[in-house]
Amino acid sequence: VCLKVHQCYGTGSLISIAGWVLGLLALSNLAMAGATTTGTVGNNVGSPFGPQTCPGGTYIASWKIMTGSYQEWAIPYEIIHSVQGICSDGTQLQPMGGNKGVAERSTFPLWYSAIYVGASESNVLTSIGSATGGGRDTNGIMLSCPAGEIITGYGGTQGDLVDSLYFVCGTVKASF
């Protein structure tokens, strides 16, 4: 599981989800053990959030993302108001971010094992499903869960939007 990050430079600082990249995982007979975190993307200007983690032995199986419009320097963007993980046992974790926006592709199955995220200094941008979305002056950075781990939680900072974001990773072990 990996997270590709695009760092953008402008005025302010938040994160953006610019797309999901396919990466198929075989998930039958899995159990979780241990936990690590990825690096953080975005700016820690908001209130601390989390981490929110799935109950032991479960992982984030899908996501709910709320989006809306935002304009910066006369350029309109779609922004991420909130993200919410839904665990493999059906547990819905606490949403991170604000309560505005509309559902955008309400769930993302785990087989989307990599996420393209971009950080702008002033807004959360999204072009879900496109690796070319994000902000201007984009530089790529790769953040990854260690080999054999998948996303089991998330945290960061929040306000009306998601200001910064990191993922909690859990070790995948086969159980028979």
Can you list the domains of the chain with their CATH numbers? 2-174 (2.100.10)
Residues 6 or more apart whose Cβ sits within 8 Å of residue 13 = 42, 43, 45, 119, 120, 121, 122, 163
- Residue 94's CB is within 10 A of a number of other CB atoms, namely 11
Give the tens place of pLDDT for each residue, 38-51: 777 667 778 999 99
Structure tokens at 16: 């953006």
Give the tens place of pLDDT for each residue, 88-111: 899 999 999 887 766 655 444 443
Q: Phi/psi at 44 (nearest 5 deg)?
A: -80, 50
Q: What is the pTM of this model?
A: 0.65
- Taking the C-alpha atoms of residue 138 and residue 39, their distance in angstroms, rounded to an integer, is 18
Q: Is 54 in contact with 91 (CB distance < 8 Å)? A: yes
- Per-residue pLDDT, 91: 95
- Per-residue pLDDT, 77: 59
- Per-residue pLDDT, 137: 37
Residues 6 or more apart whose Cβ sits within 8 Å of residue 4 = 21, 114, 115, 116, 117, 131, 140, 141, 142, 143
Q: Is 97 in contact with 80 (CB distance < 8 Å)? A: yes
Segments of the chain scoring below 50 in pLDDT: 1-33, 106-141, 176
- At 75, the amino acid letter reads I
Pairing type for strands 41-42 and 162-174 reads: antiparallel
